[in-house]
Structure 1
Amino acid sequence: MIAKITRGERSGDIAAYLHGPGKANEHQYTVDNRRHSGGVVIGGNLGREGHTEGGTWAADLREAAGTRPEIRKPIWQVSLRTAPGDRRLTDEQWRDAATIMAERMGYEEHPWVMVRHGEDHVHIVVSRVSDTGQVWHARQDFRAAQSAATALEKHFDLIQAPRQKTPGKARSSQSAVIGNQQQSTVKLSERRAAEAAELREARRFIELSFPTLQPGRRPTRPAPGQTPVIRPPVRDQRPERGFER
């Protein structure tokens, strides 16, 4: 059993997605041996079983969340998917699985609904705020969901799916941080190389323009009463410069 968690602000958004066709028309369900596009409610504690539209249950969750408007991302969602090649669970078995999940996670008293897609997975959507304003904080929800998935595999005699050690989002963020650090290192090296090249070019220009100015020495001046020696201007023969000094 594979469990993946997301959180959001609006129940209507997740409802529209779950009852829609999906990103690649992958959302389908079967009723009376006929395939339909979208999702169907098969469980929960809202009494919405059989609904193929999400407007009603989304309003139920929205009303509960509205009792505590200060709570950020009050909508919690977990998808449960059997491992590839595993047997098909019936709607009744999925309902039992969802009840076990709710009890183990601690949101059984909060409004929640379960939507089925296809043969191998369901989605459970929960309002973290109850009808009476109590908040389910969902602390350590990733670890708890992984533990619950293992318990469901044992309970229904399913194939044990590989467990994630860290949430996918955290792994992506860590990879992004490493990538940004590498890019910053490359840019810093390039900038330092460019600055060094500019410094070398500046020193070369000074040496060519003022050959009498040697490092550590000041330009000589004629002694009192001595006639200064005037030298003719020197033309720079390099074609890339193109001007006289």
Structure 2
Amino acid sequence: MIAKITRGERAGDIAAYLHGPGKANEHTYTIGNVRRSGGVVIGGNLGRDGHTDGATWAADLREAVSTRPEIRKPIWQVSLRTAPRDRRLSNEQWRDAATMMAQRMGYQEHPWVMVRHGDDHVHIVVSRVSDTGQVWHARQDFRAAQSAATALEKHFGLVQAPRQKTPGRARVSEKTITEKQQQAAVRLGGKRAEALAEFLEAKRFVDLSFPTPPRPGKAPKGSRTRQSPEVMRPPVRDHRPERGFER
């Protein structure tokens, strides 16, 4: 059994979706051997069993939510789907499963309703705010729902579905991870090579346009010649007597 969780702000939105045709006309239910479009209420604690319109139970949830308007995303929803090769559960069995889910999750005292679609899955919609203003915080709800789904599989003798470790994250094989790492390394190496080529080209352009001037006091390389050291000669003295000092 696979459990998927969503949260929302307005009960009317999820009610309209569950009792509508769905994104690809996949929402159907059977009454009197007649297949109809939409969903039908088959359980919960609101006394709305048999309803094929969500307006009444959405109003029930809104009334409870209105007692704590500061609570964000007060509408909690979980879908329960059996495996393709599992047997078909009756409405009574789904009701038992939903009651077990409510007890394990901890929202049994909060307003909740269950809508069935087809033979293989149902939706449970809960107000996280009770009629008395108590809040069900639904902490660790993903882990708790996975554990509850496993318990339901064992109780009803259903096929055990694979479990995800984190919500919304599919399992990835080591081969896929290795291939992604290699692709990332190739892309990174290509970027580094391009950056190095651009740097070298820019440096060559600068060297040609602005050659480095020779250092002061030093001749450029290749123009230096060997010179013999200058011969030190004593200074020439002028022995002529200066005027005014003649004898």
Structures share a fold, TM > 0.5? Answer: yes
Distance 1:204 1:8 in 2: 61
Q: Could you list the runs of 5+ residues in structure 2 that have no partner in the other structure? A: 173-179, 219-247
Native 8 Å contact 2:114 2:122 kept in 1? yes
Native 8 Å contact 2:164 2:170 kept in 1? no
Q: 1:202: Cα distance to partner?
A: 3.1
Q: Name 1:107's counterpart in structure 2.
A: 107
Native 8 Å contact 2:21 2:27 kept in 1? yes
Is the partner of 2:29 in helix, strand or coil? strand
| Match runs of 1:20-31 below 5 Å | 20-31=20-31
Q: Could you list the runs of 5+ residues in structure 1 that have no partner in the other structure? A: 173-178, 222-245
Q: Name 1:40's counterpart in structure 2.
A: 40
Q: Name 2:230's counterpart in structure 1.
A: none
Which 10-residue stretch deviates more, 59-68 or 103-112?
59-68
Which amino acid in 2 is paired with 1:20? G
Distance 1:195 1:146 in 2: 49
Q: 1:169: Cα distance to partner?
A: 5.0
Distance 2:31 2:21 in 1: 16
Q: Name 2:231's counterpart in structure 1.
A: none
RMSD: 2.9
| Match runs of 1:39-188 below 5 Å | 39-169=39-169, 186=187
Could you list the per-position Cα deviations for residues 42-69 of structure 1 after superposition, in whole angstroms to 9, with x for gaps in the alignment? 1111111111111111111112112111
Which 10-residue stretch deviates more, 2-11 or 115-124?
2-11
Corresponding position: 1:206 with 2:203:
no
Q: Name 2:5's counterpart in structure 1.
A: 5
Native 8 Å contact 2:164 2:171 kept in 1? no
Q: 1:199: Cα distance to partner?
A: 3.3
Distance 1:84 1:134 in 2: 38
Could you list the per-position Cα deviations for residues 78-117 of structure 1 after superposition, in whole angstroms to 9, with x for gaps in the alignment? 1111122111111111111111111111101100000000
Identity %: 79
Distance 1:100 1:72 in 2: 26
Distance 1:163 1:106 in 2: 21
Distance 2:123 2:82 in 1: 12
Could you list the per-position Cα deviations for residues 199-218 of structure 1 after superposition, in whole angstroms to 9, with x for gaps in the alignment? 3233322332345x35xx33
Q: 1:13: Cα distance to partner?
A: 1.4
Native 8 Å contact 2:75 2:125 kept in 1? yes
Aligned length: 211
Is the partner of 1:16 in helix, strand or coil? helix
Q: Name 2:229's counterpart in structure 1.
A: none
Is the partner of 1:168 in helix, strand or coil? coil
